[in-house]
Amino acid sequence: MKDFISLPIVCLLISLSHSQAQENHEKFQYQAPQFLYEEKCSKCHTLERVFAEPKTENEWRMCVTRMMGKSPAWITREEGAQIIDEIVHGRRNTIVVTSQPKKYTDIHILFVDRCTRCHNINRILKQNKTKGEWEETVLRMRENAPELFLDEDIPTLTEYLAERGKMMRDDVAAQILVEKCLVCHEAGRILLERKSRRDWEDCVADMRVRVREKFQKDWFTSDEFRLVVDLLVKTQGL
């Protein structure tokens, strides 16, 4: 007698298969970007970072031009003009009439002057801390160098690190991505891929090994490794 599967079991298997396929479709469904800046700018920065501060039209032109210079293969001259047009005419809330002094300009100078005397900026920005944890860190640094931190500096630096730390991490990681990844690979090869965190970790780790074997040097430090992987997962994760 031939083996057979009863009809109820067949129906159950089909139902489970359909449910799983539907769940996967809902989980991994892809939505095409409506604007070119969504596709191009969000690969090295989150859009939250891109539009964190309003800019004048001229500042947007300089910003996009600077990004084009970093990776001309990823943003061509024509695409750059389209992105500027989309932002200037489609996102009025990101444009300011006159160039205003940035809120954090002076505080950023204070941060660099006080904190980077003893620490590499990557070492500071790789930390993902709450406001309370940053305050504990700044107070601990003052114990080591009390002459560098006035009482009024503590809340100022704490607020700056808590509010701007995430965005600065993305900036540093994007710069590392351009300098360490796009220097060897075409932009489309990296910036159009989507991977899980484990796959991105394996990919970046593999690059570290290859460069070490070929050039006898470390291409990514451990801090740079974390920053790049975090950014790739955030902008191109599954």
Sequence spans of domains, the chain: 36-94, 105-236
Calpha distance 180→173 (Å, rounded): 10
> Looking at this protein, which amino acid is placed at residue 187?
A
Q: What is the pLDDT of residue 197?
A: 92
* Residue bearing tokens 């406001």: 131
pLDDT greater at residue 70 or residue 93: 70
> Looking at this protein, which amino acid is placed at residue 27?
K
Residue 232 token pair: 């790739």
pLDDT single digits (tens) 184-221: 777 777 777 888 999 999 999 998 888 888 877 778 88
Mean pLDDT of 109-137: 80
Q: What is the pLDDT of residue 52?
A: 75
| Across 26-30, 154-158, 194-198, 218-222, least confident range | 26-30
| Across 134-138, 172-176, 199-203, least confident range | 172-176
For residue 45, count other CB atoms closer than 10 A to its CB. 21
| Across 112-121, 133-142, 221-230, least confident range | 112-121
Q: What is the pLDDT of residue 57?
A: 86
Q: Over 60: is that where the pLDDT of 10 sits?
A: no
Calpha distance 236→41 (Å, rounded): 12
